[in-house]
Structure 1
Amino acid sequence: MIRVGVLGPEPLERAGVRRVLEDDGRIRIVGEASETASPMVRTTRLDVLVSSHRGADEALDVLQLANAAAPTAANAPGPTPVHVVLVDHLSEHATRMLLCHGARGILLRGNSVRHLPWAVRAAAAGTIALAPVAARFLVDQYVRPGRTADAVATARTMLDKLSSREREIVHLLADGASNPAMAEMLGISAHTVKDHIRGVYSKLRVDNRVQASRIVWQGQVPAQPTSTQARGL
């Protein structure tokens, strides 16, 4: 029996997820939450956490919080659950970022009903479950170049607009670091981190960390040591 928790802000959607999964005799819903999964994970033995999000950036935030809490998993009643995320839309880069940050299932909210049971079973078994559009993004990487010369040049031109501190920030964003983690690594306040992130978004003309991270990836620019790391050399 696969023990599953459901996370999502909309009660009707959580009820739908519950109903679809409970129809599968191999799956049991043992927890549900609207905003944060931390209490459910701490008090309930979960194999899989199914979480619903409007965008990939919200899903990334949840995964990053889960990764940050991983060292305390020994205090939980069981193993850290694997994640199946539901999002409204997917891009190639968002798919890549979600997988890099630990998602073991990625589905679109609009057609998740038909895929959820097998995705949960696959994630619990240790493999990857992807919506067809997400799978296509990855397959396409094997049959066409990932970056064209023009795209690389455009991304590098945009990154050249950033100050040295903003470059540190954008690379940490691309690595999935949270705001508090960036503040600690750079030896600055969380408020200052937010100011730098706003500057990065403005100069790169993006709205969120997923879009900013894609420009870093597209530009193929290696990260420089942070100021803190440089001082320690």
Structure 2
Amino acid sequence: MTVSIVIADDQELVRSGFAMILDSQPDFTVVAEASDGAEAVAAVTEYAPDVVLLDIRMPRMDGIEAARRICAGSSSRVLMLTTFDQDDYVYDALYAGASGFLLKDVRRDDLVHAVRVVAVGESLLAPTVTRRLISDLVARRPRSDVSPATGLDALTSREKETLVLLGRGLSNSEIATAMVVSEHTVKTHVSNVLAKLGLRDRVQAVIAAYESGLIVAGSS
């Protein structure tokens, strides 16, 4: 399957550099480039790409607002790229619905890997984005419009356990070991959790685990 990609960055050299790297992969196709968030949103409407690479800081419409509109109005997965790693950018990107967050100095192979991960519905964060950051996010920016108890009632006990382990940052293989089940079973549990809670991916599941109270901010 070919992964279609839109790249949005206000610096032409950066855009073309990313496009060259990604187009060199046999299963990737860059269908459009955009110089700002508004162009990125229009390109998503026209091409319905699998993955959108968005710079944080762009004229007319920044990457955060573009991500918010893209995630709300399409099934495209968003991967944020920035030269900045301050927490607030990460918070905004995650709440906008982004599935990944990487610094622009990411290595070539890591960029390709990130697009592959995000394209199949997983989530990917830069190494600097840790469970502590997610915990701080919820502690600092609680969402009054969330009613987690209602959603949690729809989960089985094993699905709740899966959500807790997701919130602690465990991979599928680590969750399988902790729950003494197969990875296939874990994938089923994860899919059920995302579907029942209306979440796009694992990043949102991590946030939901804290917001629901299953994991207390600051705890291990």
Task: State the TM bucket, normalised to the shorter chain.
Answer: 0.5 to 0.7
Structure 2 residue ranges without an equivalent (≥5): 146-220
Output the amino acid matched with 1:39. Answer: A
Counterpart check, 1:47 vs 2:39? no
TM-score by length of 2: 0.54
Q: Residue 25 and residue 100 in structure 1: after superposition, are their counterparts in 2 closer, same or farther (change >3 A)?
A: same
Counterpart check, 1:100 vs 2:103? no
Post-superposition Cα deviations, 1:165-224, rounded to whole Å, max 9, x if no partner, equal xxxxx999x98xxxxxxxxxxxxxxxxxxxxxxxxxxxxxxxxxxxxxxxxxxxxxxxxx
Helix, strand or coil for the counterpart of 1:24? coil
Q: Residue 122 and residue 7 in structure 1: after superposition, are their counterparts in 2 closer, same or farther (change >3 A)?
A: same
Counterpart check, 1:58 vs 2:50? no
Counterpart check, 1:132 vs 2:136? no
Distance 2:41 2:9 in 1: 13
Post-superposition Cα deviations, 1:98-154, rounded to whole Å, max 9, x if no partner, equal 1122111111012253421111111111111111112xxx23358xx849xxxx9xx
Output the amino acid matched with 1:121. Answer: R
Q: Residue 139 and residue 38 in structure 1: after superposition, are their counterparts in 2 closer, same or farther (change >3 A)?
A: closer
Distance 2:52 2:71 in 1: 13
Output the amino acid matched with 2:29. Answer: R
Larger radius of gyration: 1
Q: Where does residue 149 of structure 2 map in the other structure?
A: none
Q: CA deviation at 1:32?
A: 1.3
Q: Where does residue 8 of structure 2 map in the other structure?
A: 7
Post-superposition Cα deviations, 1:47-96, rounded to whole Å, max 9, x if no partner, equal 011112338x933222223355x1xx5xxxxxx31101101112234323
Q: CA contact under 8 A between 1:59 and 1:87: conserved in structure 2? A: no
Number of residue pairs the alignment of both structures matches? 139
Stretch deviating more after TM superposition (40-49 or 58-67): 58-67
Q: Where does residue 41 of structure 2 map in the other structure?
A: 38
Q: CA deviation at 1:22?
A: 1.6
Q: Where does residue 81 of structure 1 map in the other structure?
A: 76
Q: How does 1:13-24 map to 2 (within 5 A)?
A: 13-24=14-25
Helix, strand or coil for the counterpart of 1:31? strand
Q: Residue 60 and residue 38 in structure 1: after superposition, are their counterparts in 2 closer, same or farther (change >3 A)?
A: closer
4+ residue segments displaced more than 6 Å? none
Q: Residue 59 and residue 45 in structure 1: after superposition, are their counterparts in 2 closer, same or farther (change >3 A)?
A: closer
Q: Residue 63 and residue 141 in structure 1: after superposition, are their counterparts in 2 closer, same or farther (change >3 A)?
A: closer
Q: Residue 27 and residue 112 in structure 1: after superposition, are their counterparts in 2 closer, same or farther (change >3 A)?
A: same
Aligned-CA RMSD value:
3.2
Distance 2:41 2:93 in 1: 19
Structure 1 residue ranges without an equivalent (≥5): 74-79, 156-169, 176-233
